[in-house]
Amino acid sequence: MTKTILTVDDSRTMRDMLHLALTEAGFRVVQAVDGLDGLEALDAAQADVIITDINMPRLDGFGFIEGVRKNDRHRATPILVLTTESDTTKKQRARDAGATGWIVKPFNPEKLIDAIRRVAA
Amino acid sequence: MDPLAAIKVTFFQECEEQLAELEGGLLAMEGGDHDPEIVNAVFRAVHSIKGGAGAFSLEALVRFSHVFETALDLIRGGDIQADQETLKLLLRSADVLADHVRAARDGGVVDEGRSSAMAEALEALASGMGGGGEADTGDGFDDFVFNPVSIDMSDAPAPADDSVAALLASITGGDADGGAGEADAPASDDAPSQTWHVRFYPQVGLYQKANEAGLLLRELGRLGEVAVRLDASGLPLLQNMNPEDAYLGWSADLTGPGIEESAIREVFEWVEGDCYLDIVREGAAPPVAQASGVDAVGDVDVMALIRAAQAAEVPAAAAAAPTAPARASAEAKATAEPAKAKEAALDAKAQAAAREASPQTIRVDLERVDRLIDLVGELVINQAMLTQRVAECGLQRASSVAMGLDDLEQLTREIQDSVMAIRAQPVKSVFQRFPRLVREIAAMTGKEVRLIMDGEGTEVDKTVIERLSDPLTHMIRNAIDHGLETPEEREAAGKPREGVVRLAALHRSGRIVIEISDDGRGINRPRVKQIAVDKGLISPEANLSDDEIDNLIFMAGFSTAATVSDISGRGVGMDVVRRSIQSLGGRINISSRPGQGSTFTLSLPLTLAVLDGMVVTVAGQTLVAPLTAIIESLQPKACDVRNLGPNAQVIAIRDTHVPLIDIGRSLGYRTVTPPPTEGVALLVEGEGGSRAALMVDAIQGQRQVVIKSLEANYRPVPGIAAATILGDGRVALILDIDAVMVPKPHEGGGAIAAPANGGLDTVGAPTSLAKVG
């Protein structure tokens, strides 16, 4: 069955890039533009995996992850965080919020698919 | 377009938006706004640019944005105070960042000296912060290593195969179906094979973060041949079991050539701290046994358990992977038919939400819009013709045909307005270039300047916007270079050191008005007048009002700068500015108060395609006078008209006299002027603010007309700006008010009109409005 990935990122460039890489790899993609939008899209998207940015307006990635984990239907949905190599404190904060893993930016499609495979059967 | 190239285009568009956001935020901070959300937005802007730049391997851009981001992050965290000095540095850095973006986009080069100087200043700012900064954010420019990652979509592997067979294959080493693990295993046939003993005991946090033990073990299987044993000794009795807790552990023997410990650690990277992990190379000393009791490893069929967990068939599986049931039920729902429809609907909602957050736009070829505007113009003309024909047929106003035509007229007007609105854009796209311009001129002249902008959302036709950039740039340069005093002079005059230049746009009676004002020294009238006399532009005896003197600066060949400066010199004067505004059908005016500053006021039509006109009759011809130029119309009385010679007349309107010009004679329709009392005089105002009364025979009425270029369809005609087609299908000429106002040399005329109109050069160039249609 085609898996659905919810991508949450305020950058159109990053959204497009994720969309391209993910659809080429055969995933269905639902996009959200920030944390609040992501939480709203959650039920509709029925995502198998969520990929989220950290720095976003309105609601950042940490708040978004906490929100997902509070939602009974989605607390077991794997969440991957897009971060840069140097963001060690951010990684830790994201994990504390309930993130499953992370994708280091800039990513290539292979790394991306690899990361998804590590959290979704 | 190749999808990646398309994304790159998006990236650069987004960069422009981020740069505008960045600059706007920094300016707000400079203005004293301490809203933390602004700092966040500023940081995000640079962060986003860096992110995208990284994806496209734009190294220079990544490097500079990284340094910039680091400094902004410290400000965001409160480690650096954003004082005025710092904000100036940040604004200049934003300019350099913009240069980098454009260089990356257009393949140009960045002023390397300026860029590295700015990067150094930012680093100094970041490293100069108090409290011995540490951590990840403090990493400097020099330490930053950029690893370009090329994106090659063709290399994208197939999505993870979720079949149990694949799972099995990968866990057992990947020889079942040709080796699922072959691509990723860092194996080299030459390296000696070795075995690692891995013990892995997940804690509850691992499952809470939605990680799964089974998947991690599968990952381990990609490194080499793996044999996994389950340790279920920690499993309590069913009645004591908390389905959310973690009770199981695994030990795995991993065998393969060239397996590094780091590769194994990487598999468990995401669950570090949420599990007990022990990695020992075979032959090395055994580790101290942990509390969990490793000896109790039993012979449970791990594969069966994992399979069970995937399918959520066995209740006991909940312990192994407590997350499985929830997900399985979600999947079951998703496959149900009605759920699919709902999913689609909700998906649409999610996309709608996404759209709401970013402005909803479509991009359309400008040619198509122009074609549409052209057609609507034809429609307007056609509708007017139809109305007239129906009226000629003698149909009653109340007849159904006439009433239907009224509706058609209403609709046509609405369509026209809507179509015009398509081309309308906020002036922001021009205004946003000016903060940088002001900073640069301020730096060059050593003046301190604050730019205040107002009404950036005011909309006007795209063509108008595009042609506003140059004149506005020139006027802002002038305002700073000539208008504002040096900080020292200002202090001496009791003014704040920092001068203010204000740029404001607003809609006023169907036109857009743009004001450029400064609080500088104002126009030096004695000097302006002297220059005009010296250059022979006016006679020494001319008795001019203050306003008229101020408007002398619009005359061709006038330049007040004692030395032609680098900034506003270049041999271009205000006359060029005035002409470019005029060519847009606009007017420009100046008002000035000595010691307090000057204000330039531009008034422009919202569109170049239609015109509100007064339809008049002159010598049997139908002409259109632009309504915007007309102040009033009146019936001259014989006692108000005076002759100043055989061919010149003036008319007294209230307490002033203005030249009385017969349009019929100016345009060569007749040689003898009929008595003014038999016609109508239109009091008009020219671009320079000078007035005249234009004699016409009769007024037919006001009408919106579609402008058709005479230049493009025929040839330029002095005194005529353009043409239009009237309701009866006849062509009517649109007057070029300024051109007809200028008296012909042999006719003499007032000393006032000539300078205020910038000499005779407009006569030969009735360019107003003629470029469109």
pLDDT per position as a tens digit, B359-374:
567 777 878 887 888 7
For residue B773, what pLDDT is reported?
Answer: 34
Q: How confident is the model at residue B147 (pLDDT cuts 50, 70, 90)?
A: very low
Is CATH 1.20.120.160 what the domain over B3-138 is classified as, yes or no?
A: yes
**CA nearest B37 in A: which residue?**
A57
Q: Residues B683, B687, B689, CA angle at the centre, nearest 5°?
A: 60
**pTM score of the predicted model:** 0.50
Q: Which of A113, A116, A121 sits opposite B310 (nearest CB)?
A: A121
Q: How confident is the model at residue B577 (pLDDT cuts 50, 70, 90)?
A: confident
Q: Which residue is associated with the tokens 């007809």?
A: B740
For residue A65, what pLDDT is reported?
Answer: 93
Average pLDDT, integer, range B293-309: 50
Q: How far apart are CA B43 and CA A10, in angstroms?
A: 13
Mutation site, B134, B153, B209, B274, interface A, largest A CB count within 10 A = B209
For residue B306, what pLDDT is reported?
Answer: 55
Q: Which of B40, B153, B160 sits opposite A116 (nearest CB)?
A: B160
8 A C-beta contact, residue B206 and residue B275: yes
Least confident of A48-52, B327-331, B518-522, B572-576: B327-331
Choice between A118 and B362, residue whose per-residue pLDDT is larger = A118
For residue B649, what pLDDT is reported?
Answer: 87
Average pLDDT, integer, range B267-279: 86
Radius of gyration of chain A (CA): 13
Asked whether the predicted pLDDT for residue A86 surpasses 80, the reply is no
Q: Which residue is associated with the tokens 């108060």?
A: B593
Amino acid (one-letter) located at B221: G
- B-chain CB neighbours of A105 within 8 Å are 51, 54-55
Average pLDDT, integer, range B42-59: 88
Domains in chain B: boundaries: 3-138, 163-332, 367-426, 428-605, 610-756
**Type and span of the H or E element at B354:** helix B337-357
Average pLDDT, integer, range B423-442: 87
Q: Which of B54, B137, B323 sits opposite A76 (nearest CB)?
A: B323
Q: How confident is the model at residue B261 (pLDDT cuts 50, 70, 90)?
A: confident
Q: How confident is the model at residue B267 (pLDDT cuts 50, 70, 90)?
A: confident
State the nearest Cα–Cα gap between A113 and chain B, in angstroms.
7
Amino acid (one-letter) located at B7: I
Does B151 sit within 8 Å of A117, measured CB to CB? no
State the nearest Cα–Cα gap between B205 and chain A, in angstroms.
9
Please give the DSSP secondary-structure letter assigned to residue A12: H
- A-chain CB neighbours of B216 within 8 Å are 118
Does A45 sit within 8 Å of B350, measured CB to CB? yes
- Average pLDDT for chain B: 75
**How is residue B649 written in tokens?**
């007349």
Complex ipTM, two decimals?
A: 0.85
List the beta bridge partners of residue A50. A6, A79
Q: How far apart are CA B68 and CA B66, in angstroms?
A: 5
Q: Which of B153-167, B491-505, B568-582 has the highest mean pLDDT?
A: B491-505
Choice between B567 and B550, residue whose per-residue pLDDT is larger = B550
- A-chain CB neighbours of B13 within 8 Å are 12
Q: What sign for the dihedral angle of Cα B261, B266, B267, B269?
A: positive
Contacts of B598 (CB under 8 A, 6+ apart): B479, B483, B517, B518, B520, B522, B523, B550, B590, B591, B592
For residue B262, what pLDDT is reported?
Answer: 84
For residue B164, what pLDDT is reported?
Answer: 41
For residue B74, what pLDDT is reported?
Answer: 86
**CA nearest B4 in A: which residue?**
A17
Q: How far apart are CA A41 and CA B357, in angstroms?
A: 13
For residue B288, what pLDDT is reported?
Answer: 47
- A-chain CB neighbours of B76 within 8 Å are none
- A-chain CB neighbours of B3 within 8 Å are 20
Does B54 sit within 8 Å of A105, measured CB to CB? yes
Q: How far apart are CA A52 and CA A60, in angstroms?
A: 9
List the one residue out of B711, B685, B666, B581 whose CA is nearest residue B627. B685
Least confident of B376-390, B536-550, B578-592, B743-757: B743-757
pLDDT tens, position by position, B280-289:
887 765 544 4
Q: Which of B10, B44, B331 sits opposite A12 (nearest CB)?
A: B10
8 A C-beta contact, residue A95 and residue A65: no
Q: How far apart are CA B732 and CA B771, in angstroms?
A: 17
Q: How confident is the model at residue A6 (pLDDT cuts 50, 70, 90)?
A: very high
Q: With both helix axes pointing from N to C terminus, report the angle between B112-127 and B84-106 in degrees, rounded to the nearest 10.
A: 140
Contacts of B26 (CB under 8 A, 6+ apart): B42, B87, B90, B91, B94
Burial classification of residue B582, based on how many CB atoms lie within 10 Å of its CB (0-12 exposed, 13-18 middle, 19 or more buried): buried
Mutation site, B223, B270, B360, B361, interface A, largest A CB count within 10 A = B270
CA B650 to chain centre: 51
**CA nearest A50 in B: which residue?**
B210
Does A102 sit within 8 Å of B151, measured CB to CB? no
**CA nearest B9 in A: which residue?**
A13
For residue B309, what pLDDT is reported?
Answer: 54
Q: How far apart are CA B630 and CA B751, in angstroms?
A: 22
Least confident of B77-81, B396-400, B529-533: B396-400
List the one residue out of B66, B67, B68 whose CA is nearest residue B22. B68
For residue B401, what pLDDT is reported?
Answer: 83
**CA nearest B168 in A: which residue?**
A121
For residue B429, what pLDDT is reported?
Answer: 85
Cβ atoms within 10 Å, residue B493: 11
For residue B687, what pLDDT is reported?
Answer: 59
Average pLDDT, integer, range B546-563: 71
For residue B623, what pLDDT is reported?
Answer: 94
8 A C-beta contact, residue B723 and residue B734: yes
Q: Which residue is associated with the tokens 């194994």?
A: B264
**CA nearest A49 in B: which residue?**
B210
List the one residue out of B44, B149, B207, B205 whose CA is nearest residue A61. B44
pLDDT tens, position by position, A13-66:
888 889 988 988 889 899 999 999 999 888 888 889 999 999 888 898 999 999
For residue A110, what pLDDT is reported?
Answer: 84
Average pLDDT, integer, range B72-100: 87
Burial B300-312 (b: 16+ CB within 10 A, else e): bebbebbbbbbeb
Fold of B610-756: SH3 type barrels. (2.30.30)
Please give the DSSP secondary-structure letter assigned to residue B457: T
For residue B725, what pLDDT is reported?
Answer: 83
What percentage of chain B has pLDDT greater than the value 70? 75
Q: In Å, what is the CA distance from B504 to each residue of B324, B484, B516, B603?
A: 61, 18, 7, 12
Q: How far apart are CA B520 and CA B563, in angstroms?
A: 19
For residue A50, what pLDDT is reported?
Answer: 94
Domains in chain A: boundaries: 4-117
For residue B733, what pLDDT is reported?
Answer: 93
Say how many CA atoms lie within 13 Å of B761 toward its Cβ.
13
Cβ atoms within 10 Å, residue B416: 21
Q: How far apart are CA B519 and CA B593, in angstroms?
A: 9
Q: Residues B457, B104, B86, CA angle at the centre, nearest 5°?
A: 65
Does B215 sit within 8 Å of A20, measured CB to CB? no
Asked whether the predicted pLDDT for residue B584 surpasses 60, the reply is yes
**How is residue B123 written in tokens?**
């680093």
What percentage of chain B has pLDDT greater than the value 90? 10
For residue B503, what pLDDT is reported?
Answer: 93
In degrees to the nearest 10, what's the CA dihedral of B562, B567, B570, B576? Answer: -90
pLDDT tens, position by position, A68-78:
998 888 888 99
- B-chain CB neighbours of A91 within 8 Å are none
For residue B518, what pLDDT is reported?
Answer: 92
May I ask the CATH architecture of the domain B428-605? 2-Layer Sandwich (3.30)
Asked whether the predicted pLDDT for residue B764 surpasses 50, the reply is no
Amino acid (one-letter) located at B726: L
CATH of A4-117, one of 3.30.360.10, 3.30.2350.10, 3.40.50.2300, 3.20.20.70: 3.40.50.2300
- B-chain CB neighbours of A111 within 8 Å are 149
